[in-house]
Every structure is written in structure tokens, then in C-alpha cells.
């Protein structure tokens, strides 16, 4: 654990209470209303940020457009070198940035460090990718012709991120977009604006050191109205938005209306199937971390535990016993497992969910509640709760962004469990706990999990940089991070070259003059 305080943390990251919230790199400015960032850890004011006005936004777009003309012309490996330097700078400031993430968002310090490590990892991935932005060569049906396809940068990429991963998701998008030759305009969550300013400061330092134009990385701040500047702007061909399904539907409709592209990472209602052949110890570890990690505020958090009736009581007993060992408190104290929810609105949503599940006929197994008193002054700390329920309950059908785990029972074979798992509107992450090869393969088959992520013998929470991250159905269908997710940040072009003195037409068409 770092031994410097929050004030020193902000100093290391260059975050000062100067009311700036808009940045094009070297220049910081804002003329809008003030956002006050309070920590859910102790309820204290961390700093103030001014929001971006329409006039501020127009200035950002002008600078970003000019930067794109220069940046897209740099060789991709050179762009990769800049991203490498950015990753190195993140390594230098990992402890400070991890601490700010923990304090402003409320996740544990170890999770804050882990989030910054994800940023570093995607930089490493992007550096290698900068030498692998490949197309395809295809055989032409016409003699003396060569046909191939290539990828070009899109232009300005708009990024809207959520509070629960205030820095990593931006980096997932930005590192790939940069090596692809795009420039980025980022609107972080208004609940974690200081994390955004810290990241922008680090990026600006790298670009200035290399005498690159400002505007390659831009920051805007504010609520959904500021986000609408981007969704309505035809200068932005791609908007990558992370958040609720409700938000994603609004963004998708607006951007589609101008025939733009969206990359959506929305809600999850993730389940772990526990079969009779499951390793109970592994199940408990995966389920508990999945349900209570980040206080249940991950899009991949485990919401439902679908347990076979033959092992239901045994698994239930083990999970309840594990919950008794959880320590709730200041996330900067590494002895604690669970920190606070982001704010009072999240607490109210948590309380409402527990009331609703009982109203619908469920039974509370591990009682929750809001914590008050010494160490809980912010009013954002709650007890992780468990309820027995049915998948058909309306509250179970919706994502509750809090540490509430629903136990669901199934009978028969794994196909019955899959019907329950897939019987929700969301399709992000899923898992099965089994030592039965047939069950595992059925879960991964075309008739198995309908989610974008399907894991065997690990939980739903957490993802590696190398794999594409995203989900189906109301999760939005987007893919970020690894694999070939880079292609969404580029435009595809097919090229045909005739190196003869004749001009034969395709499909054997004759057109003689």
C-alpha cells in the first residue's frame, strides 16, 4: 500500500482544484457549471471540475480534427511507440492512479491497481498491434488484376465511459484507436471526473514530449447533455459508449439516425451454473468474488447462481458461510473485501431490490442493509446480500448494480440450467462450474450460453486483455480490447489494381467502344 495521502496523490497526477474539465492536451479550459467530486469512501470533497459548454466542445473538435490530419499520416509503428511511452508513464504512476481510482470510485485499492494494470496491458497489446494492422489479398477473376483490402483510420472516436471502471475502459478504446491512427474525445462519468483529468494529464505529457499536436487526446466533462454533443455530431464516425442498457439505446438511436457507428458495452445479468459435478471450493471462490467484488458494480458481476437441486443445499451453505467472513470498510485498507457503492442513488437501488425480491415471493438468506457509524460516514456502505428467488421475478430480470446475489434452483440436465441462464434480456458474461466434459462442451456449444463471454470453472467477473470483451442482446453487441476488436476503429477499403493495357470487366460483361 502506498504511504502517500490523497493530496499527494492528486499532486503526483497533476490534478489541481483549478476548475478545469475540458482539455485538448496542452490547453485546459472550461466555462460550464461546476461538478463536485465526493469520495464514497468517506464522503469528503476531493475536487471540483467545470463542465464543457457547447462553445468549449466546438473548440475541442476543431483541435481534434486538425490533429487527426497529422496523426493519421504517422506510420503505425511510430504511433505504437507513442502508446508504448504512454504505458511506461502509467507504470511510473500506477500506485498514485490506482489510489485515486479506489478513492474516487470506491473499489478496493488492489482492484484500483488492477485497473491501471489493464491500461498498461492494453498498451502492450496495442504496441504489437501497430505492426499487424493487416488486410487481405484476394485473387481477381480478371487476368492481370490484383485485388486486396486495407484498413484506414476512421477519424475522431468519441468515448463515453462509466464510473465503475473510470480509467481502464477509456484505455481499452484509446490505445487501439491511437495505433489505428484515430484521435479521441473522451467524456468520463460525471461521478469520477478526476480520474479522467489524471489520465488526460499523463497522455498530454507524452504527446508534448514527442512534439506532437494537441488534440490527439481530448477530454470533455459533464452529464448526458455533454455526451449528446458527441452522439449528434457527424464529425464523429464512431461513438464507443459504456453504461446502462437504457443509456445505450438512446446513444444507438441517435448515432444510427446520422448513420454513424456505435460500439456499445451495456448491462449484464450474469450467471454461474453449478452442476452436480462442480468443485464446491472453486465455486465458492468464483461466486463470492463475482458477486461482491467492486461491491457488485462490475458489468460482469455475478447476479445469479443457478444450482442443481442435488447440490443446492450444500452450495448454499458454503456460500452463506463465506459471506460471514467478508470484511466491509475503507477500500484503501487492504484487509477489507468490500468497499462502498458509488453514491446514495446506488444505495437506494440496492435497498429497493431487496424489498422487491421479497414482495415477489423470494426469501432473504443473507440479510443486507445500509451501514452507519464510524468508518461508514459516507452512507454508501452496504452489506452484501443473498436471496433465494426465481428467474421469472421481475427484479431478477433486471441488473441491480449492487452486491445482491440470487440463488436459483434447477432440476434435470444442464440444458435446463441453460434455459434459465439465457432467459434474461442481457448477454454479457456467463460461467459453468463442472468437471463433466459433456456439460462443459454443451455449455460452450451453439445451443449453449448465448453470452459474449462463456467461462468454464472460473467466474463471470474479470477478463484478459487478449480476448475480445463484450456481449450480446441488450448488452449491445460491441467488442473491445483484444483479438480483432481493432477493426471497429478503422474503415475498410477494397482495392483492385489493373496492371495490363486492357480493361476487362467483371462477370465477363462486354462493353466495346
Torsion of CA 264, 269, 275, 279, to 10 degrees: 80
User: Do 383 and 488 belong together in one domain?
Assistant: no
Nearest to 221 by CA among 242, 245, 244, 192: 192
pLDDT of residue 296: 98
User: Do 240 and 376 belong together in one domain?
Assistant: no
Residue 502, domain member (yes or no): no
In 425-512, beta strands by DSSP E: 426-427, 429-433, 453-456, 468-469, 472-473, 480-481, 490-498
Residue 183, domain member (yes or no): yes
pLDDT of residue 1: 53
pLDDT of residue 140: 95
Measured at the CA of 452, the angle between CA 288 and CA 161, to 5 degrees, comes to 80
Residue 121, domain member (yes or no): yes
Q: Which CATH number goes with the domain that contains 253?
A: 3.40.605.10
Residue pointed to by grid coordinates 491497481: 113
pLDDT of residue 463: 84
User: Do 480 and 456 belong together in one domain?
Assistant: no
User: Do 56 and 112 belong together in one domain?
Assistant: yes
Residue 471, domain member (yes or no): no
User: Do 333 and 407 belong together in one domain?
Assistant: yes
pLDDT of residue 2: 57
User: Do 193 and 209 belong together in one domain?
Assistant: yes
What is the rounded CA–CA span in Å between residue 302 and residue 307?
A: 13
Whether 299 is catalytic: yes
Q: Which parts of the chain register pLDDT below 70?
A: 1-3, 17-19
Nearest to 52 by CA among 255, 228, 212: 228
User: Do 127 and 160 belong together in one domain?
Assistant: yes
Residue 175, domain member (yes or no): yes
Q: Which of 180, 195, 199, 299 is catalytic?
A: 299
Residue 145's H or E segment, with its range, is strand 145-153
pLDDT of residue 20: 82
User: Do 355 and 397 belong together in one domain?
Assistant: yes
pLDDT of residue 16: 82
Range of the domain at 330: 270-465
Residue 504, domain member (yes or no): no
pLDDT of residue 18: 63
Residue 318, domain member (yes or no): yes
User: Do 359 and 452 belong together in one domain?
Assistant: yes
Q: Which CATH number goes with the domain that contains 323?
A: 3.40.309.10
Residue 456, domain member (yes or no): yes
User: Do 262 and 274 belong together in one domain?
Assistant: no
User: Do 186 and 211 belong together in one domain?
Assistant: yes
CA distances from 108 to 97, 114, 115, 304 (A): 13, 10, 10, 23
Q: Which of 265, 399, 474, 480 is catalytic?
A: 265
The tally of domains found in the chain comes to: 2
Pairing of strands 270-274, 429-433: parallel
Pairing of strands 238-242, 156-160: parallel
User: Do 316 and 201 belong together in one domain?
Assistant: no
Q: How many CB atoms lie within 10 A of CB 438?
A: 11
Amino acid at each position: 500500500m502506498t504511504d502517500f495521502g490523497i493530496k499527494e496523490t492528486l499532486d503526483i497526477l497533476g490534478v489541481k482544484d483549478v476548475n478545469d474539465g475540458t482539455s485538448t492536451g496542452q490547453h485546459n479550459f472550461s466555462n460550464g457549471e461546476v461538478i463536485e467530486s465526493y469520495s464514497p469512501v468517506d464522503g469528503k470533497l476531493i475536487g471540483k471540475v467545470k463542465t464543457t459548454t457547447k462553445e468549449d466542445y466546438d473548440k475541442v473538435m476543431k483541435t481534434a480534427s486538425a490533429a487527426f490530419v497529422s496523426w493519421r499520416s504517422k506510420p503505425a509503428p511510430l504511433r505504437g511507440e507513442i502508446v508504448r511511452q504512454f504505458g511506461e508513464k502509467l507504470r511510473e504512476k500506477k500506485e498514485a492512479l490506482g489510489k485515486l481510482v479506489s478513492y474516487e470510485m470506491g473499489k478496493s485499492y488492489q482492484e484500483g491497481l488492477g485497473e491501471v494494470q489493464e491500461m498498461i496491458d492494453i498498451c502492450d497489446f496495442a504496441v504489437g498491434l501497430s505492426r499487424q494492422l493487416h488486410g487481405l489479398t484476394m485473387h481477381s477473376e480478371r487476368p492481370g488484376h490484383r485485388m486486396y483490402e486495407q484498413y484506414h483510420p476512421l477519424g475522431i472516436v468519441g468515448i463515453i465511459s462509466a464510473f465503475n471502471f473510470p480509467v481502464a475502459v477509456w484505455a481499452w478504446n484509446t490505445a487501439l484507436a491511437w495505433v489505428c491512427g484515430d484521435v479521441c474525445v473522451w467524456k468520463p462519468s460525471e461521478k469520477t471526473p478526476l480520474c479522467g483529468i489524471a489520465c488526460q494529464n499523463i497522455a498530454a505529457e507524452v504527446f508534448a514530449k514527442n512534439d506532437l499536436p494537441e488534440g490527439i487526446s481530448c477530454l470533455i466533462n459533464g452529464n448526458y447533455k455533454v455526451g449528446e454533443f458527441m452522439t449528434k455530431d457527424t464529425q464523429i464516425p464512431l461513438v464507443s459508449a459504456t453504461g446502462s442498457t437504457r443509456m445505450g439505446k438512446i446513444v444507438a438511436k441517435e448515432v444510427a439516425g446520422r448513420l454513424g457507428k456505435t460500439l456499445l458495452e451495456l448491462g449484464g445479468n450474469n450467471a454461474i451454473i453449478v452442476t452436480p459435478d462442480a468443485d464446491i471450493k472453486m465455486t465458492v471462490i468464483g461466486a463470492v468474488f463475482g458477486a461482491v467484488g467492486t461491491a457488485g458494480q462490475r458489468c460482469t458481476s455475478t447476479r445469479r447462481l443457478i444450482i442443481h437441486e442435488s447440490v443446492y443445499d450444500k452450495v448454499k451453505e458454503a456460500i452463506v458461510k463465506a459471506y460471514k467472513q467478508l470484511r466491509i470498510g475503507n477500500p484503501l485498507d487492504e484487509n477489507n473485501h468490500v468497499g462502498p457503492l458509488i453514491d446514495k442513488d446506488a444505495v437506494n437501488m440496492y435497498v429497493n431490490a431487496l424489498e422487491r425480491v421479497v414482495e415477489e415471493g423470494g426469501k432473504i438468506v443473507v440479510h443486507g442493509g445500509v451501514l452507519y457509524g464510524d468508518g461508514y460516514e459516507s452512507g454508501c456502505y452496504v452489506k452484501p446480500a443473498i436471496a433465494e428467488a426465481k428467474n421469472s421475478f421481475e427484479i431478477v430480470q433486471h441488473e441491480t448494480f449492487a452486491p445482491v446475489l440470487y440463488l436459483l434452483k434447477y432440476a434435470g440436465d444442464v440444458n435446463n440450467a441453460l434455459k434459465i441462464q439465457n432467459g434474461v434480456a442481457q448477454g454479457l458474461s456467463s460461467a459453468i462450474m463442472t468437471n463433466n466434459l459433456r456439460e462443459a462442451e454443451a455449455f460452450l456449444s451453439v445451443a449453449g450460453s448465448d453470452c459474449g463471454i462463456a467461462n468454464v470453472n472460473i467466474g463471470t467477473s474479470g477478463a484478459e486483455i487478449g480476448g475480445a470483451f463484450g456481449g450480446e442482446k441488450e448488452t449491445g453487441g460491441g467488442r473491445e480490447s483484444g483479438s480483432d476488436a481493432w477493426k471497429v476503429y478503422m474503415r475498410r477499403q477494397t482495392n483492385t489494381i489493373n496492371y495490363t493495357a486492357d480493361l476487362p470487366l467483371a462477370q465477363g460483361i462486354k462493353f466495346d467502344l
